[in-house]
Structure 1
């Protein structure tokens, strides 16, 4: 009888434990399109059936705001707007991840074991086939500037890029462009002169290209553009040949994560061989790990583009991008250069 009682108690204990595990929630606030990252989420759920994942896809600025004001806060925060992520970490919103995977992660792709870059995504140009029927598509930033200057009438209203005031990643990319080309502000003026449409996300640019409203897009997230082009053959993706910016999606565990163990499991999966293998084989997000083989890896991208890849650094230097005075000065000049030949503001 005692043995039977012990057996029943053990079964009840195991059942209660599994029920508790099955009910463990995990909330991820992310500026990362669910459609693109779906294979990774599915792999995580398969590897961790006891965690109930709630993945919320938002804009970079929404994610940044929710990091500070959400009640309850999210467990994990993911965004491509690296300066905003670094700023939140610097403000103390992240908790340290002490795991073997975190300790072994490349130094250039993490900061203080608190925030981790887990993708390696090129920034691209994209154009409709219609463009190629009228002019030679641009392969470099200089080509783009020349095209906007010499084909202004043909391209009037048919060019799109990010709005630096409505998109954190858009603002970051333009800041980086200003570092790497002396003619950046000439390019901004040419974009304004061509009445370029400013969008808040890459998807809006891609939809406009497919619908024929736009012929040419500048500074799109390559991961989204590559997925889109696979199903929309009218859109061609071009990695700039003079230099290509690279962004990393960064993730951190919120300091007040309601479910820290689930958050740790998720972050460790992003850094693991299994997670990175999914990124390299089933998404165009490009894995970071050097021991992964697949069509989308950082090493393969380096092999294709060479030393013309310019990753945005994951260190304290990017905090300058969110300095209010620097941002105000940059946006004031953007308004002045972009609107030099028109009376319209980028609201």
Structure 2
């Protein structure tokens, strides 16, 4: 008996279900007959309204929703593709590689703009900018930086004030942080100057936007760089504390994407879920969205985003990734 108990414990410890999730919630109703297992990097409070709206139109489907970081999501999905029906992530590059590597099922019935899907197997459903978010009190009487260069100047002007009070993603841990950093670096050398300045001031490194925003609100940090604007906007109760700045020099806007596992046993229900996501989030007139829409609300047009294509995999090449991480660590981690 002990032998079988030991085997069971070993099995549990070696599956994704032994994972310590950031959050896990099951959404179900009295008519639910099918359960979709969704692994996602999106916080439950932001995604729950979408799930509930889907279930209103599809009462026969329940959703088991697991939340983890973007890098962990990629690792877990590759390890156990038959353990989840749907993967949703803000790390476009990792999601693209999953689809390119054959982990996604093609959903040929879904109608979506060509720029917002990849071979009908990976579907974008939001467009979300990376932002500079500040605690307003830090700039009381001081110019608010509107670009990366102005942020550099602001930090250099008051180094002792900002020492140990700046935050950004740890690109070694965060897939989204790595995506934003590599896209910034491709666009301008200003990124590297900013990283060196932040590194000299003891920048704090984070796994995710939510933690950065929490520390901004508490005053632990005064500036956060490359935070997801949608997460900051969701904290509407702190509008007087926080200010969201979309850098004027150039935007870095990612598209949150979803795919259905090639091994999903509930793929027809999963296809309905994806169809709902892309339809709901592509409607610029929809004012109940908890995440930013894919289409610009002002003019109903495509947003300027990171392109959903093979170029996303450039910095996933092992040699390029190692080179980038070494340069980043040299700039940011200054002991």
TM-score with structure 2 length normalisation?
0.86
- Cross-structure match for 1:3: none
Distance 2:296 2:318 in 1: 33
Q: 1:287 aligns with which of 276, 293, 304?
A: 293
Is 1:187 equivalent to 2:187 in the alignment?
Answer: no
Aligned equivalents of 1:148, 1:231: Cα separation in 2: 24
Equivalent position of 2:298 in the other structure: 300
What do you get for the CA RMSD once the two structures are aligned? 2.3
Q: Over residues 125-160 of structure 1, what are the superposed CA-to-partner deviations in whole Å (9 max), with x where a residue is unaligned?
A: 111121122522211111111112222111111111
Contact 1:279/1:287 (<8 A) preserved: no
Max Rg structure: 1
Which residue of structure 2 aligns with residue 13 of structure 1? none
C-alpha distance in structure 2 between counterparts of 1:169 and 1:97, whole Å:
25
CA deviation vs aligned residue, 1:34-93 (integer Å, no higher than 9, x gap): 111222111001110001111112111121112111274210110000110011111100
**In 2 relative to 1, CA 334–71 (structure 1 residues): closer, same or farther, beyond 3 Å?**
closer
Relative to 1, partners in 2 of residues 1:49 and 1:233: Cα closer, same or farther, differing over 3 Å? same
1:1-347 → structure 2 map (5 Å cutoff): 22-70=32-80, 72-99=82-109, 102=110, 104-133=111-140, 135-272=142-279, 274=280, 276-277=282-283, 280-283=286-289, 285-288=291-294, 297-300=295-298, 310-339=304-333, 342-343=334-335
Q: Is the 8 A contact 1:95 1:253 kept in 2?
A: yes
Q: Which moved more, 1:45-54 or 1:62-71?
A: 62-71
SS for the counterpart of 1:240 is coil
Task: Give 1:301 shift.
Answer: 8.4
Which secondary structure does the structure 2 equivalent of 1:298 belong to? coil
Secondary structure (helix, strand or coil) at the match of 1:244 reads coil
Cα contact 1:28–1:77 (8 A) shared by 2? yes
Q: Could you tell me whether the CA contact under 8 Å between 1:123 and 1:239 is conserved in 2? A: yes
Aligned length: 307
- 1:111-138, CA deviations, whole angstroms, 9 ceiling, x for partnerless residues? 1011011101111111112112252221
Cα gap change, 1:313 to 1:286, in 2 (>3 Å): same
Q: Is the 8 A contact 2:105 2:261 kept in 1?
A: yes
Cα shift readout 1:280-331 (whole Å, capped 9, x = no counterpart) = 422352222xxxxxxxx4253899xx9xx75111001101121111110000
**Given the two structures, how large is their TM-score scaled by the length of structure 1?**
0.83
